[in-house]
């Protein structure tokens, strides 16, 4: 208990939407005695760092149960000496990184001091600035991190513990374990995010709308080639992401999505010898906007970028994320679906960001409560190689999972492909 009374947590990128959602969960955790990490958060100090920090007036009405625990700091995380000094002076035990700072650099600082670390996605400043990597930015970030991953031996770290990557790896491994006697031909991560403003008068011209970072979405949607993994090898289609679509059927639900590169495709592809891909469809407005501009996608970078924010206007639709296992004669699926109209009432955030925060929360709880050996883990590695209770912590806030089976199959990716242009 003496250690718990001295627990300090630092959150990087505290002004962003993911941080807002994590803090919203912790705002509940601190007053909920049944929450797995209640006793820790109750006795913790929270240090919030951002390069352009909000005023305390922003945090006060959103997180009233945490406000006496918050210390706000503003500085550039590229200043590693200053960040290291912060970790030392505050006796930080855990860093939650939802910033755009370079993942390897942040982890190096944490590893040096034995500080725990968790993030939701890989970031690499050098890759972002290198235009010669057009088509492959996500894969390049992954390989550059892999080159350094085994050197971090003085920390416990979980990389990519949002919704996807993160929760989807837990779903995939759960389904694979539940059906271990019958190995599938393929595993597809899918997402159908139909969230959009109900009032179409809120829509501005030459503006791209998504429920999470528009810039990061465009990185996958127009700056990358479609990618999947087969026999542990990443394979690419030399084509626009939005030029083709792939069918997903979930009982009575059915949609077509685009094949996009994603971290969990690479990590699961390292572990399992099957076809693995990520099929994603966003709101119809943004989908049509990109399709109409495939011949001049560079122009889209110059358009305005807007988050679909339920505090700005009522959001209809849902964000549905899950996993589909494909067999010769059937398909097994599992998914979670949330609506911003429901989530905003309780957590003052969007469904998409809340799903990400649930994954961050599960990983955070595991780092705090579980006996995890030193080293760096993707969520799938965490589940396979340690005694983590990730799923137990996850389902405290993300409780509604749908399971189902299709009594036929649409086959592998080349069989479920539909050409748009």
Look at residue 68 and tell me whether its pLDDT is greater than 90: yes
Look at residue 2 and tell me whether its pLDDT is greater than 50: no
Look at residue 218 and tell me whether its pLDDT is greater than 50: yes
Look at residue 91 and tell me whether its pLDDT is greater than 70: yes
Look at residue 421 and tell me whether its pLDDT is greater than 80: no
pLDDT in tens, 184-211: 999 999 999 999 999 999 999 999 999 9
CA atoms within 13 A on the CB side of 364: 30
Cα 383–chain centre separation = 17
When pLDDT is cut at 50, 70 and 90, the band that residue 384 belongs to is very high
When pLDDT is cut at 50, 70 and 90, the band that residue 26 belongs to is very high
For the chain, give every domain's residue range. 4-162+353-394, 167-350+401-419
Place of tokens 């989807």: 168
pLDDT in tens, 107-127: 999 999 999 999 999 999 999
pLDDT in tens, 297-326: 888 999 999 999 999 999 999 999 999 999
Look at residue 145 and tell me whether its pLDDT is greater than 90: yes
pLDDT at 249: 98
When pLDDT is cut at 50, 70 and 90, the band that residue 4 belongs to is very low
Looking only at the bridges linking them, the beta strands covering 207-210 and 304-307 are parallel
pLDDT in tens, 37-54: 999 999 999 999 999 999
Nearest alpha-carbon partner for 358 in 92, 171, 133: 171
Looking at the chain, the whole-number percentage of residues with pLDDT higher than 90 is 95
pLDDT at 412: 98
Predicted TM-score (pTM) of this structure: 0.96
Residues 4-162+353-394, CATH architecture: 3-Layer(aba) Sandwich (3.40)
Cα(53)–Cα(185) distance, integer angstroms: 48
Nearest alpha-carbon partner for 322 in 336, 332, 309: 336
Helix (H) or strand (E) holding 103: helix 103-113
pLDDT at 298: 84
pLDDT at 5: 52
Longest dimension (CA), the chain: 63
pLDDT at 141: 97
Asked which of 5-14, 96-105, 227-236, 340-349 is least confident by mean pLDDT, the reply is: 5-14
- Backbone phi, then psi, for 245, in 5-degree steps? -130, 160
Alpha-carbon distances, residue 349 vs 68, 138, 209, 242, 337 (angstroms): 21, 27, 16, 29, 15
pLDDT, average across residues 123-142: 94
Look at residue 291 and tell me whether its pLDDT is greater than 90: yes
Average pLDDT over the chain, rounded to an integer: 96
Cα(121)–Cα(172) distance, integer angstroms: 18
What burial class does residue 350 get, using C-beta atoms within 10 Å of its C-beta: 0-12 exposed, 13-18 middle, 19+ buried?
buried
pLDDT, average across residues 27-41: 97
Looking only at the bridges linking them, the beta strands covering 401-406 and 331-338 are antiparallel
CATH 3.30.360.30 describes domain 167-350+401-419: yes
Asked which of 126-135, 229-238, 251-260, 276-285 is least confident by mean pLDDT, the reply is: 126-135
When pLDDT is cut at 50, 70 and 90, the band that residue 34 belongs to is very high
Contact (CB, 8 A) for 255 and 192: yes
pLDDT at 1: 41
Look at residue 6 and tell me whether its pLDDT is greater than 90: no
């Amino acid at each position: 208990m003496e250690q718990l009374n001295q627990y300090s947590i630092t959150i990087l990128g505290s002004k962003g939407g993911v941080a807002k959602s994590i803090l919203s969960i912790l705002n509940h955790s601190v007053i909920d005695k049944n929450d797995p990490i209640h006793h820790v958060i109750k006795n913790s100090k929270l240090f919030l760092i951002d390069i352009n920090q909000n005023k305390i007036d922003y945090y006060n009405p959103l997180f009233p149960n945490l406000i006496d625990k918050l210390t706000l700091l503003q500085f550039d995380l590229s200043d590693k000496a200053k960040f290291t000094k912060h970790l030392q002076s505050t006796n930080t035990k855990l860093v939650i990184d939802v910033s755009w700072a370079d993942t390897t650099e942040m982890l190096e600082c944490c590893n040096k001091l034995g500080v725990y670390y968790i993030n939701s996605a890989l970031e690499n400043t050098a890759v972002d600035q290198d235009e010669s990597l057009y088509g492959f930015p996500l894969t390049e970030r992954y390989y550059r991190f892999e080159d350094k991953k085994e050197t971090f031996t003085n920390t416990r770290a979980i990389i990519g513990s949002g919704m996807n990557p993160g929760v989807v790896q837990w779903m995939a491994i759960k389904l694979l374990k539940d059906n271990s006697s019958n190995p599938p031909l393929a595993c597809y991560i899918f997402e159908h995010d139909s969230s959009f403003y109900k009032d179409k008068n809120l829509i501005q011209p030459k503006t791209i709308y998504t429920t999470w970072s528009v810039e990061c979405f465009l990185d996958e949607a127009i700056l990358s080639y479609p990618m999947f993994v087969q026999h542990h090898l990443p394979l690419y289609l030399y084509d626009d992401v939005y030029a083709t679509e792939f069918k997903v059927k979930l009982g009575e639900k059915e949609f077509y999505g685009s094949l996009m590169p994603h971290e969990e495709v690479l990590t699961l592809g390292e572990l399992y010898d099957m076809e693995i891909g990520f099929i994603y469809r966003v709101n119809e407005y943004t989908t049509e906007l990109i399709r109409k501009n495939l011949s001049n996608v560079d122009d889209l970078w110059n358009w305005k970028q807007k988050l679909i924010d339920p505090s700005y206007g009522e959001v209809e639709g849902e964000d549905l994320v899950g996993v589909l296992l494909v067999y010769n004669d059937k398909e097994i699926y599992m998914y979670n679906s949330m609506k911003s109209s429901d989530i905003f009432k309780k957590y003052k955030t969007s469904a998409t960001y809340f799903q990400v925060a649930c994954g961050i929360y599960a990983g955070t709880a595991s780092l705090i409560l579980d006996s995890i050996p030193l080293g760096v883990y993707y969520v799938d590695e965490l589940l396979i190689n340690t005694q983590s209770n990730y799923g137990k912590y996850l389902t405290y806030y993300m409780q509604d999972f749908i399971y189902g089976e299709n009594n036929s199959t649409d086959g592998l990716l080349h069989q479920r492909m539909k050409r748009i242009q």
